[in-house]
């Protein structure tokens, strides 16, 4: 009898040990790969998990391991921001309208969990915020006037060596010399700086068109060209290209739709203008994807129907409907009905715990 009881106790202890080890594995090696909304729900599991999730070290790990598009912040020309989630159970923010900021704002750009917004009063200050934690910073006044619809691009690349977000905000603004100059804000330095580079040429940047890929910022212009600014060399150049700009697998792409076919142009060589004459090296590689009509119904698309593109996820608009297209699975579904997409702004968002 005693021997049987002892064996039963050993089995129970062994099972408990296995359970604890599995719990530790999930806590230490799985939680950091989840989106912020899911993680915050796990604070109710136990005191240890709540303490772990609340530490800056955990927020740092999560921002370095979770990079999936979680949804889109959308804002009409006269309304408050809203959040269009790709999965209501997994992705979300506590205040999609960003009322925690000290004034009403317009969304300008996003990058790896951070949003750049611009105030509507005084000198139209820039704010950088994390919508999950409601942390925000008000940037100092720029040295130059950026215009009513500034061509700003936020750049934040998570680093395993830096616990707090270090980011840059770059704006291409009209120059008095009939071209564009570039002003850069660095969070590490806490100040703005005007680059010595001046692009001289008759082009006009389209609002809300800027994207960042591999240290270079790109804006589309109204004459079917692209203005590029290299952050490392601080040099600009202009070359031919059209469509909505996006970044897929780290490469710049241009997207447009014609006859229900999606045209994807991938930048293969940004320096063809420096190659020898009659070189066979092409600037763009072009691919075509047939859209899934089962979810699109009778929707009609034009060349400018692609609103946003990042990481194989596209947002399309037809009249007052937003569609979500996954280029990997070729699945298409309705993202939002009755929207004012033509005059709206939409930016991709990653559900991150990063500290500012």
Please tell me the pTM assigned to this model: 0.87
* CATH code that applies to domain 67-349: 2.120.10.30
Select the more confidently predicted residue: 67 or 282.
67
Residue 7, burial from CB neighbour count under 10 angstroms (0-12, 13-18, 19+): exposed
Task: Give the per-residue SS3 of 278-310.
Answer: CCCCCCEEEEEEECCHHHHCCCCCCCCCEEEEE
What are the helix (H) ranges across the chain?
2-29, 36-41, 47-53, 56-65, 293-296
pLDDT of residue 271: 56
Mean pLDDT of 28-35: 87
Most confident of 67-81, 263-277, 329-343: 67-81
Q: Would you place residue 202 in the very low, low, confident or very high pLDDT band (cuts 50, 70, 90)? A: confident
Residue 338 has pLDDT above 90, yes or no: no
Of 84, 82, 126, residue with least CA distance to 103:
126
Given the structure tokens 């603004």, which residue do they identify? 173
Select the more confidently predicted residue: 109 or 283.
109
Residue 344 has pLDDT above 80, yes or no: no
Residue 27 has pLDDT above 70, yes or no: yes
**CA-CA distance, 182 to 187, in Å (whole number)?**
17
Domain ranges of the chain: 2-57, 67-349
pLDDT of residue 11: 47
Residue 278 has pLDDT above 60, yes or no: no
Residue 1 has pLDDT above 50, yes or no: no
Select the more confidently predicted residue: 78 or 98.
98
Lowest mean pLDDT among 169-183, 210-224, 262-276, 321-335: 262-276
Average pLDDT, the chain: 86
pLDDT of residue 39: 92
**CA-CA distance, 255 to 242, in Å (whole number)?**
8
Q: Distances from the Cα of 340 to the Cαs of 72, 94, 96, 116, 220, in angstroms?
A: 15, 24, 18, 21, 22
Cβ neighbours, 10 Å, residue 129: 20
* Helix, strand, coil distribution of the chain in percent, nearest 5: 20, 40, 40
Residue 67, burial from CB neighbour count under 10 angstroms (0-12, 13-18, 19+): middle
Select the more confidently predicted residue: 295 or 90.
90
Q: Would you place residue 172 in the very low, low, confident or very high pLDDT band (cuts 50, 70, 90)? A: very high
Q: What 8-state DSSP symbol labels residue 210?
A: -
Q: Distances from the Cα of 335 to the Cαs of 84, 231, 251, 296, in angstroms?
A: 7, 34, 25, 11
Q: Would you place residue 276 in the very low, low, confident or very high pLDDT band (cuts 50, 70, 90)? A: very low
Strand, helix or coil for residue 216: strand
Mean pLDDT of 138-159: 94
């Amino acid at each position: 009898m005693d021997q049987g009881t002892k064996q039963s106790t050993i089995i129970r202890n062994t099972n408990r040990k296995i359970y604890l080890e599995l719990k530790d594995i999930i806590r230490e090696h799985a939680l950091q790969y989840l989106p912020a909304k899911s993680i915050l729900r796990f604070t109710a599991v136990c005191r240890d998990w709540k303490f772990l999730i609340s530490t800056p070290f955990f927020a740092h790990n999560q921002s370095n391991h979770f990079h999936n598009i979680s949804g889109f912040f959308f804002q009409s020309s006269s309304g408050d921001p809203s959040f269009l989630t790709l999965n209501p159970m997994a992705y979300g923010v506590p205040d999609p309208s960003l009322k925690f900021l000290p004034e009403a704002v317009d969304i300008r750009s996003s990058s790896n969990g951070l949003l750049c917004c611009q105030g509507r009063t005084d000198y139209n200050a820039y704010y950088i915020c994390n919508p999950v934690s409601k942390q925000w910073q008000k940037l100092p006044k720029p040295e130059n006037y950026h215009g009513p619809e500034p061509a700003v691009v936020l750049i934040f690349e998570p680093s395993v060596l830096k616990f707090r977000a270090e980011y840059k905000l770059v704006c291409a603004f009209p120059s008095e010399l009939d071209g564009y100059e570039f002003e850069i804000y660095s969070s590490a330095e806490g100040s703005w700086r005007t680059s010595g580079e001046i692009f001289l040429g008759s082009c006009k940047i389209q609002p809300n068109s800027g994207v960042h890929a591999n240290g270079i910022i790109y804006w589309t212009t109204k004459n079917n060209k692209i203005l590029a600014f290299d952050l490392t060399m601080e040099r600009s150049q202009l070359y031919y290209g059209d469509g909505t700009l996006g970044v897929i697998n780290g490469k710049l792409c241009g997207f447009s739709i014609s006859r229900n076919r999606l045209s994807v142009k991938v930048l293969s060589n940004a320096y063809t203008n420096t190659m020898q004459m009659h070189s066979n090296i092409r600037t763009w590689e072009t691919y075509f994807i047939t859209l899934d009509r089962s979810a699109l119904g009778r929707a009609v698309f034009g060349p400018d129907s692609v609103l946003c593109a990042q990481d194989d996820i596209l947002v399309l608009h037809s009249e007052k409907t937003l569609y979500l297209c996954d280029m990997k699975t070729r699945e298409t579904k309705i993202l939002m009905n009755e929207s004012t997409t033509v005059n709206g702004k939409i930016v991709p968002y990653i559900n991150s715990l990063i500290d500012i």
